[in-house]
């Protein structure tokens, strides 16, 4: 199994700075972890430049591929190159409209001093709703389109994280139960990844919803050190925990037999 069995989620990261290497995309890593923990199957992260056509393409692609949830970051500010909202509207084939609730959010942040650039942040795709921003100035956006729930969040990590935790995460939890996730981490010394690979493949046969990812921490031909991350999913949380424990114990036993020194760092009790 390569991905958890829950509904599909897509990430859309907007910004030239991400593509030219000036900014590391920590937002995608943070969101991927949080959505996975909630039980969603994060299938892809589309990173695009500040381009209306590319932004529209990213949202359309995510929805066409069956995403139930799409979360974007970046491009919500007042400047000319902040165009995520307009890009989404283009993908949806709707116009931007001035949202009174969003306008009041912006007005409150700027203490009544509105300019054209500031009012721009209150224009949403028709049918969308604003998401409060407790840290910054630009409201987020929530809209349903072709079976997907889409959230637009700012690119500033502190703002994005605060809005996800205060608004997006509770909304996703309210939609109904999702698969439970259980995990364990093993540290293996003395076994090269190429030798451990057949053992890992056999471990995957212990359950349909289990996945083992190996992360080399040493040198394959020097002093091999592997970190193995085991995850399992099930509608029953106890069953997920039991499966992780069974797989972790199998890996410990088989890799020790190959001369490895195995340490369980957490999980899979």
Residue 81 has what DSSP assignment? Answer: T
Looking at the domain assignment, is residue 159 inside a domain?
yes
Is residue 148 located within the same domain as residue 188?
no
* CATH number assigned to the domain comprising residue 192: 3.30.70.1130
Domain boundary among 173, 194, 219: 173
Same domain for 137 and 17?
Answer: yes
- Sort residue 190 into left (φ over 0), alpha (ψ -120 to 50) or beta: left
Whether 197 and 118 map to the same domain: the answer is no
Half-sphere exposure of 64 (CA within 13 A, CB side): 8
Q: What is the CATH number of the domain that holds 129?
A: 3.40.980.10
Which of 173, 190, 217 corresponds to the end of one domain?
A: 173
Nearest to 12 by CA among 69, 90, 73: 73
pLDDT digits (tens, 9 = 90+) for 26-44: 999 999 999 988 889 899 9
Q: Give the pLDDT confidence of 152-173 residue by residue, as tens digits.
A: 999 999 999 999 999 999 999 9
| pLDDT at residue 3 is higher than 80 | no
- Same domain as 134, residue 36: yes
Q: Are residues 205 and 77 in the same domain?
A: no
Which two three-digit tokens encode residue 114? 């509105």
- Given a contact cutoff of 8 angstroms between Cβ atoms, the answer to whether 35 and 44 are in contact is no
For residues 25 and 103, state if they share a domain: yes
Site of tokens 């990213």:
58
Phi-psi region of 114 (alpha: psi -120 to 50; beta: other; left: phi over 0): beta
Mean pLDDT score of the chain: 93
Quote the pLDDT of residue 179: 80
**Is the C-alpha dihedral spanning 150, 118, 46, 71 positive or negative?**
negative
Domain count, the chain: 2
> Is there a single domain that holds both residue 50 and residue 113?
yes
Rounded CA gap, 175 and 113, in Å? 38
Does 158 share its domain with 254? no
In DSSP terms, 216 is beta-bridged to: 226
- The C-alpha atoms of residue 112 and residue 101 are separated, in whole angstroms, by 14
1 falls within a domain:
no
Residue 269, C-beta contacts closer than 8 angstroms, at least 6 positions apart: 241, 245
115 falls within a domain? yes
- 21 within a domain of the structure (yes/no): yes
The model's pTM is 0.84
Domain final residue, candidates 133, 148, 173: 173
pLDDT for 79 beyond 80: yes
Please write down the long-range contacts of 207-210, taking CB distance under 8 Å and 24 or more positions apart: 207/232, 207/243, 207/246, 207/247, 208/1, 209/1, 209/4, 209/5, 209/179, 209/233, 209/234, 209/240, 209/243, 210/1, 210/243, 210/244, 210/247
Question: In which residue are the tokens 């700012």 written?
Answer: 154
Q: Do 38 and 153 lie in a common domain? A: yes
Residues 184 and 115 both lie in one domain = no
166 and 35 fall within a common domain: yes
Q: Which domain covers residue 205, as residue numbers?
A: 180-267
Tokens representing 214 are 């190996």
- The model's pLDDT over 91-124, given as tens digits with 9 standing for 90+, comes to 999 999 999 999 999 999 999 999 999 999 999 9
- Give the pLDDT confidence of 213-256 residue by residue, as tens digits: 999 987 766 789 999 999 998 888 899 999 999 999 999 999 99
DSSP codes joined into one string, 135-161? SSSS-EEEEEETTEEEEEE-SSHHHHH
């Amino acid at each position: 199994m390569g991905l958890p069995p829950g509904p599909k989620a897509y990430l859309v990261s907007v910004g030239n700075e991400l593509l030219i290497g000036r900014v590391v995309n920590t937002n995608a890593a943070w969101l991927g972890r949080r959505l996975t923990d909630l039980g969603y199957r994060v299938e892809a992260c589309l990173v695009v430049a500040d381009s209306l056509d590319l932004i529209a393409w990213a949202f359309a692609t995510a929805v066409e591929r069956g995403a139930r949830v799409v979360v974007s970051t970046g491009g919500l500010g007042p400047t000319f190159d902040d165009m995520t909202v307009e890009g989404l509207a283009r993908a949806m084939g709707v116009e931007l409209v001035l949202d009174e609730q969003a306008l009041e959010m912006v007005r409150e942040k700027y203490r009544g001093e509105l300019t054209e650039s500031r009012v721009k942040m209150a224009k949403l795709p028709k049918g969308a709703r604003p998401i409060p921003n407790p840290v910054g100035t630009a409201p987020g956006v929530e809209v349903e389109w072709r079976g997907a729930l889409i959230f637009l969040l700012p690119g500033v990590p502190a703002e994005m994280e605060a809005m996800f935790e205060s608004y997006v995460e509770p909304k996703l939890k309210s939609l109904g139960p999702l698969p439970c996730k259980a995990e364990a981490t093993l540290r293996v010394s003395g076994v090269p990844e190429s030798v451990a690979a057949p053992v890992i493949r056999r471990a995957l046969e212990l359950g349909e919803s289990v996945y083992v990812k190996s992360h080399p921490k040493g040198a394959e031909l020097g002093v091999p050190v592997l970190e193995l991350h085991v995850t399992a999913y099930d509608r029953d949380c106890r069953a997920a925990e039991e499966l992780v424990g069974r797989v972790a114990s199998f890996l410990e036993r088989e890799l020790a037999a190959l001369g490895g020194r195995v340490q369980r760092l957490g999980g899979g009790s």
